Amino acid sequence: MITAKKIIFCSSFFFLLLLVSCTTTKLKSVWKDNTYDGHINNIMVVGIFERLDIRKFFERELVNQFKNHDTEAIASADAIPSEEELNENVILGEARKQGIDMIMVTHLLSIDEKSAFHPQRNLGGFNNYYHWAYAYVHGPRYYSQGTLSVYLTSNLYETKTEKLIWSVTSKTMDVHESKYNIVKSLSKVVIKSLSDNGLLK
């Protein structure tokens, strides 16, 4: 006979399993240019990933998150034709053409805690950083098996000046979950940090 106590126990047990298996993202570092007192009016989201499907999913997921916070946003995958080479000059040109005031770039740093790399922020403006990040992500040792966490960095640049405004390094646990769950977890944390730092309306 199934009793109420058994039902409660089973529900609690499966809820606990759900919590354990959930993908969780935490920020390891947050930096903001304290001289900047504006906020994001509209933004282009750029993901640098080895796989195009992950890039598109990430960009569109984050665009939806921005729109949920009444901020206009567009994915670079939707703004720039797929046959056009995606480089820093093309991204900047399209953003300026569309009157977009901010560009956010996210890319992988490491999937191994021991070798997690935290780049210095003195790589210059958007042009230099995007060029470096693209080469890093598409170079050797981009992905390794058997690890439990992934580190990504997200940088926010002002389109007009190419100046870095905000930067975070995030750590997401349970890489063996779907990469799409990692993207969803990261998106929520990124939006919260932007809001906490007064960059969203």
Q: Which two tokens stand for residue 47?
A: 């993901």
pLDDT digits (tens, 9 = 90+) for 31-53: 999 999 999 999 999 998 878 88
- Average pLDDT score over residue span 70-88: 87
Structure tokens belonging to residue 26: 């935490």
* Fold (CATH) for 23-196: Rossmann fold (3.40.50)
Q: Which residues pair with 106 in a beta bridge?
A: 47, 154
pTM: 0.73
Q: CA 140, CA 166: separation in Å to the nearest integer?
A: 28
Radius of gyration of the chain (CA): 19
Question: Parallel, antiparallel, or unpaired for β 25-32 and 42-48?
Answer: unpaired
Cβ-contact 147, 111 below 8 angstroms:
yes
18 vs 107: which has the higher pLDDT = 107
Q: What is the pLDDT of residue 16?
A: 30
- Spell out the domain ranges in the chain: 23-196
Query: Pick the residue with more confidence: 145 or 173?
Result: 173
Q: What pLDDT band is residue 115 in, cutting at 50, 70 and 90?
A: very low
Of 11-15, 45-49, 65-69, minimum mean pLDDT range: 11-15
pLDDT level of residue 78 (50, 70, 90 thresholds): very high
What proportion of the chain, given as a percentage, has pLDDT over 70? 69
pLDDT at 76: 95
Q: What is the pLDDT of residue 45?
A: 97
Nearest to 109 by CA among 178, 188, 169, 189: 169
Residue 163 has pLDDT above 90, yes or no: yes
Cross-strand pairs, 25: 172
